[in-house]
Copies of this chain bind each other. A is one copy, B any other.
Amino acid sequence: MTRITVIPGDGIGPEVTEQALLVLGAFGLGLELDVLDHVNAGTFLETGVALSEVDLKRITGSAGTLLGAVGDPRAAGTRYARDVLLRLRFELDLYVNYRPVRLLDARLSPLRRAGRREIDCAIVRENTEGLYADIGGALRSRTEAEVAIDTEVTTHLGVRRVIDYAMSAASRAVCMVDKSNAVPNGGRVWQRLWRAACAERPDLETTHLYVDVAAMRLVQDPTQFEVIVTNNSYGDILSDLAAELAGGLGTAASVNLNPGTGFGLYEPVHGSAPDIAGTDTANPIGAVLSAALLLDRLGHRDEAAAVRAATDRAVADGRCTADIGGSLGTRAAGEAIRDLLA
């Protein structure tokens, strides 16, 4: 039996995860669900540790992890996010953050043009280095003479493998985004490895943009992109931006992946939204489509396609939550998708 670990997490995390699990359950694939209910901000605030070594073993021994959301205002300013989400990304070497962006229905786009459901791209975000390296410190902390340092680390290994993944995930076009005109050292690594990778893939249309221009071009016309590959920090920003252009963060799915081992941590792009937690209003689609990415990875491609088709249908019929124009609650929106599974 395939064992899947589940971290419902904080805020709306448990609610959206419940719907994702119900959708998975509809297929009778015999997945064993190993739920880590205690990995959340409550545990962190009580014990100082959100994720124990035992938890980590359960996770790494499983076929993948579904995560709801991690984040709690009571833990602001602590290392909580780093100790759960960023720790899993770094320690399990989940070096690809794959964030597909698809307009589920033309009316969801906030853009005047770009109606016709043509937004269908993916951000491939480097997920294990860059500004997230957590290397740095501060001198004369808390004084008027304070100097703080955060180090952006860029390695040949890190850049090469994420560019390779991006190229393998594209059928038509890849755009590399950096800021090599202002941030020179990492920029040179991205530029050099990008040129090498382009030379190996003459079949793909390859382009380069500076990050400020990329943000602009996404707004001008998101349909011009297929795969965007970029560093950890720019990937964070551009994936939220692209998701919003495609109808809202509530529907955006992602996987933190190690393509070598095949292990993935699947999570909606949205956060824990503590303000609406427990009100049955959160959009379950980000979590449901993240579960579809897990199905893909487990080889259940037909089931994954069925989930996506049912989701599109539910949205087209307006059987969805208020953030995307429906009037259903979280549970009813999940039920609508299950109803529509062929």
A interface with B by C-beta (< 8 Å): 71, 76-77, 79, 81-82, 86, 109-113, 131-132, 134, 136-138, 141-157, 160, 179-189, 191-192, 211-213, 215-216, 219-220, 233-234, 236-241, 243-245, 249, 271
Is the pair B142, A182 in contact by a Cβ cutoff of 8 Å? no
In the bound complex, CA of A185 to CA of B236 (Å):
18
In the bound complex, CA of A183 to CA of B144 (Å):
20
Is the pair A183, B132 in contact by a Cβ cutoff of 8 Å? yes
**How many chain copies?**
2
Is the pair B244, A184 in contact by a Cβ cutoff of 8 Å? no
In the bound complex, CA of A130 to CA of B299 (Å):
44
In the bound complex, CA of A154 to CA of B153 (Å):
17
| Chain B residue contacts of A134, Cβ below 8 A | 184
Distance (whole angstroms) from the CB of A107 to the closest CB of chain B: 9
Is the pair B219, A236 in contact by a Cβ cutoff of 8 Å? no
In the bound complex, CA of A192 to CA of B142 (Å):
8
Name 21 A/B residue pairs within 8 A (Cβ), A-sorted. A111-B112, A131-B152, A132-B183, A136-B152, A138-B185, A138-B188, A144-B160, A146-B155, A146-B156, A147-B155, A148-B189, A149-B185, A150-B183, A150-B184, A151-B151, A152-B152, A212-B237, A212-B239, A212-B240, A215-B215, A241-B241
Given contacts A138-B189, A215-B241, A244-B215, contact A182 B81 (CB under 8 A): yes
| Chain B residue contacts of A271, Cβ below 8 A | 213
Best-surrounded residue of A147, A148, A149 (most CB of chain B within 10 A): A148
| Chain B residue contacts of A212, Cβ below 8 A | 236-237, 239-240
Sorted nearest first, the 10 A-B pairs with minimum C-beta distance are: A148-B185, A212-B240, A146-B156, A215-B241, A216-B244, A219-B244, A150-B152, A148-B154, A136-B185, A216-B240
| Chain B residue contacts of A157, Cβ below 8 A | 144-145
Is the pair A216, B243 in contact by a Cβ cutoff of 8 Å? yes
